[in-house]
Structure 1
Amino acid sequence: MAGLYFAFDISVMPGLARGDDHTYVTAMRNINEAIDNGLFGLLFLGAFLATGVAATQQQRRGRPDAARWGWLAFALYGLSLIVTAIVNIPLNNQLARAGADATAARTRFGGRWTTGNAVRTLACTAALAALGRALTLHGRASA
């Protein structure tokens, strides 16, 4: 998820920002419709659940240091889910229902969505780093 969000930060949103309002709104609507599918949902929630399962397993196997890093990753990814639920999805829904005034729709959407996405990117990147640390500790405990 960190990679997906980062791609939006450095390419998708800056690329869309170069276009006119109608193109921006139409493209974002199309992106939002395309990404709203079962496979994405499975990966989106599956990563969160797998992180929690991994942290639980580390805890049960007596690896408290690895478990702590796993729980940190779980919390950070959870933060990204919360931001998605309270910022990005509501904005996506507003954009989908917006009328013909593309300028107004873009104005209400763009800055807030991009800021929310940057928070998601940071949270998921930090979660990935925490998972890397947990994996390192797991490997040391196993050796």
Structure 2
Amino acid sequence: MLSSPPIAAARGWTLASATLAMGLIAGFFYAYACSVMIGLARVDDRTFISTMQWINATVRNQWFAPSFFGALALTALAVLLHVSRDGRPVLRWSAAAFVLYAVAFGITMAVNVPLNDDLAAAGDPAAISDPAAVRAAFEERWVAWNTARTVASTAALACLLRALVVHGRETPVSRTFRRRSG
């Protein structure tokens, strides 16, 4: 049984929205991996701590939340919309994307956020007696796990892009077009 045009449209919009949100969050993690943390590696300990504290204090905002949480929710919805038999060609790609981003999301919540909280708890960088130790307890681990979540979210993005291609091939409109032009 083929899905109706409204179901196909809902699937397409959900996949596109999930892909957009995933692209934003993968790009966010990537920007840290290839520029922010490389730049901060070159500053003194107190500047590093202060900058990361301010970034962490301001990142939870109305611009970040839709991509960070939306990528997970929209990808889950894409999976659910493709569970039926006619959605199966897309299901494996959207499910892989969900698993990959769930890993990135889990890393963020289990590693990066607690490290951010520990850095905030260190207090005013000017008052820290051993800023090198505070930085050492944070930087290497945070960077390594950011790299892992960057790879996972980028792979999730690639899976969603593939899901969009497969969806385009599987929609009733594209099947009709192929029959007419073939």
What TM-score does the superposition give when structure 1 sets the normalisation length?
0.95
Shift of 1:61: 6.4
The aligned residue for residue 97 of structure 1 is 121
Question: In the alignment, is residue 128 of structure 1 matched against residue 157 of structure 2?
Answer: yes
Q: Following the alignment from structure 2 to structure 1, what is the Cα–Cα distance between the partners of residues 28 and 42?
A: 20
Alpha-carbon RMSD: 1.2
Shift of 1:85: 1.2
Could you tell me which residue of structure 1 aligns to residue 34 of structure 2? 10
Alignment map for 1:1-143 (pairs within 5 Å): 1-60=25-84, 62-99=86-123, 100=128, 101-142=130-171, 143=174
Q: What are the superposed Cα offsets for residues 48-88 of structure 1, whole Å, 9 maximum, x if unpaired?
A: 10011112112236221201110100010000011011110
Runs of 4+ in 1 over 4 A off after TM superposition: none
How much has 1:7 moved relative to structure 2? 0.4
Aligned partners of 2:84, 2:64: CA distance in 1, in Å? 30
Q: CA deviation at 1:40?
A: 1.8
Which is greater in Rg?
Answer: 2
Number of residue pairs aligned between Structure 1 and Structure 2: 143
Query: 1:128 & 1:141 partners in 2: Cα distance?
Result: 20
TM-score scaled by structure 2? Answer: 0.75
Whole-Å Cα distance in 2 between the matches of residues 122 and 24 of structure 1?
24
Query: How many percent of aligned residue pairs carry the same amino acid?
Result: 43
